[in-house]
A and B are shown apart, each in its own frame.
Chain A
Amino acid sequence: MDKILQDNLRKEVKALFEQKKVDLVIGYETGPTKFTTTPVLIKNSEEADRLVINDFITSNLAKMLVKIKGKAGIVAKGCDSRSIVSLIQDHKVKRENIVIIGVPCSGIIDVGKISRLIGKEPDEIDDITREKDAVLVTSGSEKKSLPLKEVLYEHCLACDLSTPAECDVLIGEPASPPLDKVASLAKINEMEKMTAEQRWQYWKEQMQRCTRCYACRNVCPVCYCERCFVEESEPQWINIAPNWQDNLIFQVIRSIHVAGRCTDCGNCERACPVGIPLRSLVRKMYDIVDEMFHYKAGTNKDDLPLMASYETREAEELIR
């Protein structure tokens, strides 16, 4: 990502405050450790210089729009802007109450991937610089060039909208990550080659590690229920203790609940502290929704949500 984008952003945000078009702006600032950013809420133009745009702006900030008070400006990459549209469709956010500051995105770097490729933890890396189709990684005296495709987040490789369409201002020229849908869906395609028993066994093993911390659910912008189904006690749908059976039901139902609203922003998988490949669930749902109903989440703010609409004829082959 350019420094130009960052400068443009800060200029734009200052202008928005000066013109009194916003009460607050939600964006990214430098994070507590190397190669991280963290969400920040700024309330005046003096704080605008805290905002950053770089290769590590991972969080989906749309989450912070739910329950916000006042007119909010929000920094949004392509996937984030679609999540905002999903929220508008669900009437959780009013379009007129927000100013969408669109960030043309050429892909976000997954520092974990770099770490695994060069065998060094993020804090042992000195510098990560993006150069066209490659990334130059420096650690001490070692310099290594890695292909960009190998270090971007998997979901970036299948990006359906890198430059926000629904936005009030775009802070740069349209951009796109290098696309490689095959690589992006590699895990899912592997899964489809397995037998049903193998797949079930795979998920059973993955779910043994789930601690039900709910990081996945809580970072998701479209999981905004005041009371999630897991918190119901009358009736109690799944047990509170993290047994693999209950964990699996939680993840499966969550994937179904976000169908048609999930934009494959990858935040759930990134948030998981124990490394469960959650994208292999939600992205599959994303593709099922696309195949069956030719619907992509967050495309048009005036559309009805997927599950609130229907065609007179569809999916009949599945019903007796």
Chain B
Amino acid sequence: MVKKIKQADIGKLLERWAKDYRIFVPSRDGEITRFDRWDGKDTGFLSIYRNTVVPAKSVFFPVKEEMFSYKKDSTGYQLKVPGPSMSKKLLFGIRPCDASALAMLDVAFKEGYEDPYYLEKRRDTVLVGMTCLRPYDSCFCTSLGGGPGESKNVDIMMTQVGDEYILEGITQKGEELLAGVEYFTDASEADISRLRSVKEGALKQITRKVNVKDITQRIYDVIENKEFWETSAIKCVSCGVCTFFCPTCYCFDISDEKEKGTGIRKRAWDSCQFPVYTKMPAENPREEKWRRVRQKVAHKYAYFPTLYGGTISCTGCGRCIRLCPVSWDITAVINSVPEKVTTESK
């Protein structure tokens, strides 16, 4: 079903949903935007018309989290593990690229080993997506099977049309949430036609394109080409910005923090770009910067697709381009990977 709601009624809608769900909305935190618990009253966040700086993954895979803690008492060591997630979550205003990214994280945190921390937070979460009316010039989601109005990974897709929002029920869960809410009116034919043209307009605004035809094989073809990767890597400073703010990156490091008689085991975001990421006592296989940059590009466009059915683990959100201190551009690198070698082109 497709419904319509006035912007002024969004607050009431969220209050309604807040009875059953913990609501997360885009929020301002100083100069940046991130997903935080809705404060229960303010809908000023609706003016955040673009993607948040901190990706939605931070709700399920936070920058740091406690894995367990222990305390020594007279009887021995008492272990405390975080309890189960108390209530269902609803992420309001997630962008299609971040939603696609969550689908990839779902795979990464489940295949081979089921990560209890991520999965516990992730279960029973409803995603209410929001169409991007004004994508960044650094966005390139359309090249990767996405789009500013793409709804395939959310439960409900919202699009702002004038001072109203149109909501499309995508999954059964989404339909259930849309049913019987008195602030909604049914979307008319004219509404749906307007919705279509708004989404088309948004689509036209994506100007950045990346050539991913046969990209996995193309990358394997240059995988040992040191000069190619060195040229791509020369200006990189090996910080962790691109990976931390990438919605599909999921590396973490585990560390213990001990006090007298008590301790906490935490995990925190880690980056394959850090020089010490692969450092071991005997050697560091990615000592040179070009190897680390190659790893980042190849993981997203070759290794992940090889492991997980051809899915490129980049959603074209453009954060890496916007936030990189030296404006490194992954689309330039991908576009410079030579075309696939065929017997005809030899």
**Cα(A267)–Cα(B325), bound, Å:** 8
**Known pairs A31-B327, A212-B240, A213-B241 / 11 extra A-B pairs, C-beta < 8 Å:** A32-B138, A33-B138, A39-B235, A41-B234, A121-B50, A121-B136, A211-B269, A219-B237, A219-B326, A241-B257, A241-B268
A40 CB-CB contact with B under 8 Å: yes
A36 CB-CB contact with B under 8 Å: yes
A241-B255 contact in complex given A37-B327, A121-B50, C-beta closer than 8 Å: yes
Is the Cβ of B240 less than 8 Å from the Cβ of A38?
no
Stretch at the interface among B29-37, B72-80, B182-190, B297-305: B29-37
**Cα(A67)–Cα(B150), bound, Å:** 45
List residues of chain B with CB within 8 A of the CB of A36. 327
B244 CB-CB contact with A under 8 Å: yes
**Cα(A218)–Cα(B236), bound, Å:** 9
Is the Cβ of B245 less than 8 Å from the Cβ of A273?
yes
24 example contacts (A-B, Cβ-Cβ < 8 A) are as follows A38-B235, A59-B325, A64-B234, A64-B235, A121-B136, A123-B138, A124-B134, A213-B271, A215-B237, A215-B240, A215-B325, A218-B237, A218-B238, A227-B276, A239-B255, A239-B266, A240-B253, A241-B64, A241-B257, A243-B64, A273-B53, A274-B29, A274-B53, A274-B54
List residues of chain A with CB within 8 A of the CB of B322. 33
List residues of chain B with CB within 8 A of the CB of A284. none
Interface of A is mostly: loop
**Cα(A209)–Cα(B244), bound, Å:** 13
Stretch at the interface among B93-101, B161-169, B328-336: B328-336
What is the interface of chain B, defined by CB distance below 8 A to chain A?
Answer: 29-32, 50, 53-54, 63-64, 134, 136-138, 234-235, 237-241, 244-245, 253, 255, 257, 266-269, 271, 274, 276, 321-323, 325-329, 331-332
Q: Which of A203-230 contact B (CB under 8 A)?
A: 209, 211-215, 217-219, 227
A134 CB-CB contact with B under 8 Å: no
A34-B137 contact in complex given A209-B30, A219-B326, C-beta closer than 8 Å: yes
Is the Cβ of B29 less than 8 Å from the Cβ of A240?
no
**Whose C-beta in chain B lies nearest to the C-beta of A43?**
B231
